A and B are shown apart, each in its own frame.
Chain A
Amino acid sequence: MSEEETFEKNKHIKYFERCFKILPYHYTSADTNRMTFLFFCISGLDLLGALDQVITPEIKQKTIEWIYAQQIHPDPKIGNIGQCGFRGAPFMGHKFEPNATETIHEPYDASNLAMTYTALISLIILGDDLSRVNKKAIIESIAQLQQEDGSFSPVIFGMEYDMRFLYCASVISYILNDWSGINIDKAIDFIKKSQTYDFGISQGQGFESHGGPTFCAIAALSLMGKLDEGLISKKDTLSWCLSRQVNGFQGRANKPPDTCYSFWIGAAIEILGGYEFIDFETHKKFLYSTQTNYGGFTKYPEYEFPDILHSYMGVAALAIIPEKTPEIECLPQLETRLNMSKKTFDKNFPNNVFWKNK
């Protein structure tokens, strides 16, 4: 990679703009996760300082409406507890009703914690005050999704439960300013059991420590205000995280560095208060080498085409860096636990109906 590589801000703006307007066919395989793609576009543009420039107030409002139209409300007839929150897209075929307060239940229709989390963050970034969010129904649903071992399933009929959804449930509880849906003792117990012999954190007891769940657990603990209680050895976990820096970061020992772990591990390190210890220059150089001519970032430097997850994570990872060199001076600080601009958080978050006047 050439020495002159630098942060390609304008190309990335174009990339997120394109994704916002249309995603290529191969994203069909993740059709149910469109809300996360929307979050990547909106937060990506926001971090790049281009949200207002690319998305007009009118389109912003329409986007807010689209998000609200994915909300599943209680069905007064059957009491669909455990199923309220957000869908990732209108794939179930419901009528577009952004102002609904009830949802007529249909078989197989259920919210997904990851979609509820990204819907709420997107609404905050877009400046909405969350007044149409049915907090009570969501908190009741979260309670239904927690498993006996403290972990969370993303959907009521879910087959998977691990650290990712414990994180999503924690962010939702934080935003809605209500932790009554989570049994915190059980959640902490699950996090403790997921810490491995190398002090990294895994998706669940017995599994290999991994950058993704390490971020999820640390961010969740921090949001709960239980960082010291939940980590067996904060010092050793920080050391494990720092050891993942190769130039960029690897997600597990002996794996190649991958753009997204610059965020997952970088953010975990930042929350643990050790970000000053990483080597900024080699880290940035790695990230710049995963940028593409089309804008966006790839997973590995040798890949040709960007994808939306790695593109967002690349930008977010650069935003964490506290001492910003001129080429990334345009990036605001990150609110790492929620994964959005700190500036936007400070401006918009206090105005949401669950925190206002609190």
Chain B
Amino acid sequence: METVTEQEWADVERTLQDEGPYSVVPISYSIEYSEKMDILRTLMKNNEKSERALKLTEEIIAMSPSNYVIWKYRQEIVKELNVDLKSELDLFTNYAKENPKCYQLWHYRQLIIEKLNDPLNELKFIEEMLKGDDLKNYHAWSYREWIVKHFDLWKEEFEFSTSMVKYDDRNNAAWNYRFFILSESPYHDINEYLKDEIEFSKQKINFDPTNPSPWMYLRGIIEKSKYELAEFADELLPFCEFLQRNEFYKYALEFQLKVNESILKTLKSEKEQEQQKDICRSLCSKLEEYDKIRRKYWKFIRESY
């Protein structure tokens, strides 16, 4: 770490942080941080846009990356000094890797890319960020959605979602991304994909019926299409039953319940409705048994028909 050199900053008056007579929740700053902030405060006040100010903002960002004020100041310096935006992006790539959940680092990236009006290698960068422990990084996925939308890069993304779901089928962020592509891309029609997507979800459910993500996706994708869940009852109810030939699964029971509730809405005669409600009630009873943590909720639903 660099220290504050008297020579470089001899001309800059220090602006101290004025806590008043009693400081609440004070942070035990390092001497380095305090000294550099004392200088930075003066520079900001004078709106000095210089090489040394640029360097100082980076040093402070390294210690306090979520300080949005300093990020704004840096933006203005970068603009004034005509700093190469690609080098600016490279500079903060390592910081992003060290602070993968820092909002400001992601937003600064987005801002630079927007200005350059070029997605560069950002999709690859995001892919790297999503490796390892960070498969579900909310910032990375959100940023990817922005890049894809902004630069019209939809075409390859359905395949990308397939690879991410295949890599970890419990990555709900990847499932959500798949849904995002099919529901928002101008090149994909959800109705055309529906049959394949039902198949894809069923495969993943067969592999692990205790994984909630494909169950939620399956219901979501059908409800988003032009069809109702009830219209797939003939296919999906037997699927759930066969799946549970040896043991019950709470997500399967819940899915059966949703399909049966959807059927209930289509029935006109009171007698048919009553029979259908019985099916729903008995599924709730099973849920009370197999989804113990929510037993009070399923009891309430059972009694609500």
Task: Report which A residues bind B (CB closer than 8 A).
Answer: 19-25, 27-34, 37-38, 41, 59, 62-63, 65-66, 69, 89-96, 98, 106-110, 112, 154-155, 157-160, 196-198, 203-204, 206-210, 239, 242-243, 245-247, 252-255, 274, 276-279, 282
**Interchain CB contact under 8 A, A62 and B22:** yes
A28 to B104, CA, bound (A): 15
**Interchain CB contact under 8 A, A98 and B41:** no
Q: Is B53 an interface residue (CB 8 A)?
A: no
Q: Is B19 an interface residue (CB 8 A)?
A: yes
11 A-B interface contacts by CB (under 8 A): A22-B25, A22-B26, A24-B27, A66-B20, A91-B67, A96-B19, A157-B72, A159-B111, A197-B176, A254-B171, A282-B293
A278 to B111, CA, bound (A): 42
Which B residues touch A252, using CB under 8 A? Answer: 136, 172-173
Q: Which chain B residue lies CB-closest to A281?
A: B293
Knowing A159-B108, A160-B103, say if A98 contacts B69 (CB, 8 Å): no
Which B residues touch A30, using CB under 8 A? Answer: 64, 66
Q: Give 1 or 0 for each of B79-116: 1 = CB within 8 Å of chain A CB.
A: 00000000000000000000000011001101100000
A24 to B69, CA, bound (A): 22
User: How far in angstroms is the closest Cβ of chain A from B213?
Assistant: 6
Knowing A159-B111, A207-B141, A210-B138, say if A62 contacts B25 (CB, 8 Å): no
| Cβ-closest 7 pairs across A and B | A197-B220, A159-B107, A96-B20, A93-B41, A62-B22, A277-B297, A93-B15
Which A residues touch B228, using CB under 8 A? Answer: none
Q: Give 1 or 0 for each of B171-189: 1 = CB within 8 Å of chain A CB.
A: 1110011011001100000
Q: Which chain A residue lies CB-closest to B216?
A: A198
A209 to B176, CA, bound (A): 8
**Interchain CB contact under 8 A, A277 and B296:** yes
Knowing A20-B25, A206-B145, A252-B173, say if A29 contacts B136 (CB, 8 Å): no
Which B residues touch A196, using CB under 8 A? Answer: 176, 179, 220
Which A residues touch B300, using CB under 8 A? Answer: 277
User: How far in angstroms is the closest Cβ of chain B from A39?
Assistant: 9
**Interchain CB contact under 8 A, B68 and A255:** no
User: How far in angstroms is the closest Cβ of chain A from B187?
Assistant: 16
Q: Which chain B residue lies CB-closest to A95?
A: B18
**Interchain CB contact under 8 A, B25 and A207:** no
Q: Which chain A residue lies CB-closest to B220?
A: A197
User: How far in angstroms is the closest Cβ of chain A from B82?
Assistant: 20
Q: Give 1 or 0 for each of B8-44: 1 = CB within 8 Å of chain A CB.
A: 0000000111111111111111100100010001101
A56 to B10, CA, bound (A): 43
Name A65's contact: one of B20, B27, B42 (CB within 8 Å): B20
Which A residues touch B149, using CB under 8 A? Answer: 206
Which B residues touch A90, using CB under 8 A? Answer: 17-20
Knowing A93-B17, A245-B293, A254-B170, say if A207 contacts B176 (CB, 8 Å): yes
Name A208's contact: one of B15, B26, B33, B172 (CB within 8 Å): B172
User: How far in angstroms is the closest Cβ of chain A from B97?
Assistant: 16
**Interchain CB contact under 8 A, B16 and A32:** no
Q: Which chain A residue lies CB-closest to B109?
A: A159
User: How far in angstroms is the closest Cβ of chain A from B175?
Assistant: 8
A334 to B98, CA, bound (A): 37
Q: Is B45 an interface residue (CB 8 A)?
A: yes
Which B residues touch A206, using CB under 8 A? Answer: 145, 149, 180, 184
Given pairs A108-B72, A112-B68, A208-B172, 13 additional interface contacts (CB within 8 A): A24-B27, A29-B66, A69-B20, A96-B19, A96-B21, A107-B47, A197-B217, A198-B219, A198-B220, A253-B213, A253-B216, A277-B300, A278-B296
Which B residues touch A41, using CB under 8 A? Answer: 24-25
User: How far in angstroms is the closest Cβ of chain A from B195?
Assistant: 18
Q: Give 1 or 0 for each of B208-248: 1 = CB within 8 Å of chain A CB.
A: 00011100110111011000000000000000000000000
A106 to B45, CA, bound (A): 6
Q: Which chain B residue lies CB-closest to A274?
A: B297
**Interchain CB contact under 8 A, B138 and A159:** no
Name B212's contact: one of A108, A157, A197, A253 (CB within 8 Å): A253
User: How far in angstroms is the closest Cβ of chain A from B93?
Assistant: 17
A66 to B217, CA, bound (A): 50
User: How far in angstroms is the closest Cβ of chain B from A54?
Assistant: 12
Q: Is B249 an interface residue (CB 8 A)?
A: no
Which B residues touch A210, using CB under 8 A? Answer: 138
User: How far in angstroms is the closest Cβ of chain A from B262?
Assistant: 13
**Interchain CB contact under 8 A, B64 and A28:** yes
Which A residues touch B219, using CB under 8 A? Answer: 197-198
Knowing A157-B72, A159-B107, A206-B180, say if A108 contacts B44 (CB, 8 Å): yes
Name A66's contact: one of B19, B63, B103, B224 (CB within 8 Å): B19
Name A23's contact: one of B27, B142, B212 (CB within 8 Å): B27
A22 to B295, CA, bound (A): 45
Knowing A206-B180, A243-B294, A255-B136, say if A66 contacts B23 (CB, 8 Å): yes
**Interchain CB contact under 8 A, B19 and A254:** no
**Interchain CB contact under 8 A, A93 and B220:** no
Which B residues touch A108, using CB under 8 A? Answer: 44, 69, 72-73
Which B residues touch A278, using CB under 8 A? Answer: 296
Name B27's contact: one of A20, A27, A204 (CB within 8 Å): A27
Q: Which chain A residue lies CB-closest to B292?
A: A279
